Amino acid sequence: MTINWRGLLQRHGLILAFGLFLAGVALGNDAFLTPGNILDVLRQVSITGLIALGVTFVVVTGRLDLSVGSMLTLLTVIVVDQHNTLGPGLAILCTLLAGLAIGAWNGLLVGYLGFNALIVTLAMLSLLNGVTLWYSGGSNVNVVGADQSWFGVFGRGSVAGIPVPVILFLGSAGAASFLLRRTVFGRSVYAVGGNQVTSVFSGIDARLTVFCAYLLSGLATALAAVVMGSRVMGAQNTIGQGYELTVLAGIILGGTSLMGGSGSIWRTVIGIAMLGFIQNGLLLMGFPYYVQWLVTWAIIIAAVWIDLAAKRGKVFA
């Protein structure tokens, strides 16, 4: 049997390169692939991963959501502030509802009114930054009586040695994967991303599908905000800055196409984990922090190039 090396590299080139990276770092640092470090990395990427689960639905429809970093900031401020006013239970409920409301607004503008997703979510990014500063008065907020509150379990707790954020991330990934792969809605998401015109003629409500994808993005970001607030037991006005790029990098790295119509939740999980281990490995090797951003840039360029090459059937245009 002949092995199609070119096709194999196009589909799995980044994963193979990641495997070589893991092996190289592990040889130079014995602590890299220990169970403790692996759990630490998974805990660190859980917030990014939760957001990425929702954004994956948006990207598969052929749209983008660049507002999630600012949304994470606002929702974290809300959950911490309302914890001090209403208590943890109602604060979490308010945060989830706020995330759904923001997602609904994005979905209305993009799905039903047909506005450009890039422009809408960039504008929302700016709006949410302003709302955050107005809501918080420009000040950081902290949980009052943090030692007596059960709220910390979401970001700091563990079950049988496994961090709660990791359990929430992987459990949410399982539910999201079922929704995307095993339901009528999930098939509609793929159809709209593959060819929206054809999907409409097939009886799919493309506008509702896009709307619901943004709802899921807002909900996933709200869950991430609960974990973030619980971990830090406070919130800064810039706490979510840059998350939108990291989320998008992980999704692309996992193989979800920016053109829509393809991708999967578990590939997103792999992509987010790859980013986490790459960043962790660079730090263990002694590289300065800014190198992570340079490597993230290179990963995005390489992943998009491989995606386009696979669709065109050739490496260069």
Which sequence spans correspond to the domains of the chain? 45-241+257-264
Number of Cβ within 10 Å of residue 147's Cβ equals 7
The pTM is what? 0.91
Contact 213, 189 (CB under 8 A): yes
| Separation between Cα atoms, residue 217 and residue 63, nearest integer Å | 12
Residue 160, classed as helix, strand or coil, is coil
pLDDT in tens, the chain (317 residues): 555 555 555 556 666 767 777 787 777 777 788 888 889 999 999 999 999 999 999 999 999 999 999 999 999 999 999 999 999 999 999 999 999 999 999 999 999 999 999 999 999 999 999 999 999 988 888 888 888 889 999 999 999 989 999 999 999 999 999 999 999 999 999 999 988 888 888 889 999 999 999 999 999 999 999 999 999 998 889 899 889 988 998 898 888 888 888 889 998 998 899 888 888 888 888 778 778 778 777 777 776 676 666 665 555 55
What is each CA distance from 100 to 57, 107, 216, in whole angstroms? 15, 10, 8
Contact 51, 171 (CB under 8 A): no
- Sign of the alpha-carbon torsion through 79, 80, 85, 90: positive
Residue 223 sits at the vertex; the CA angle it makes with 289 and 188, to the nearest 5 degrees, is 105
Number of Cβ within 10 Å of residue 302's Cβ equals 15
Buried b (16+ CB within 10 A) or exposed e, 264-295: bbebbbbbbbbbbbbbbbbeeeeeeeeebeeb
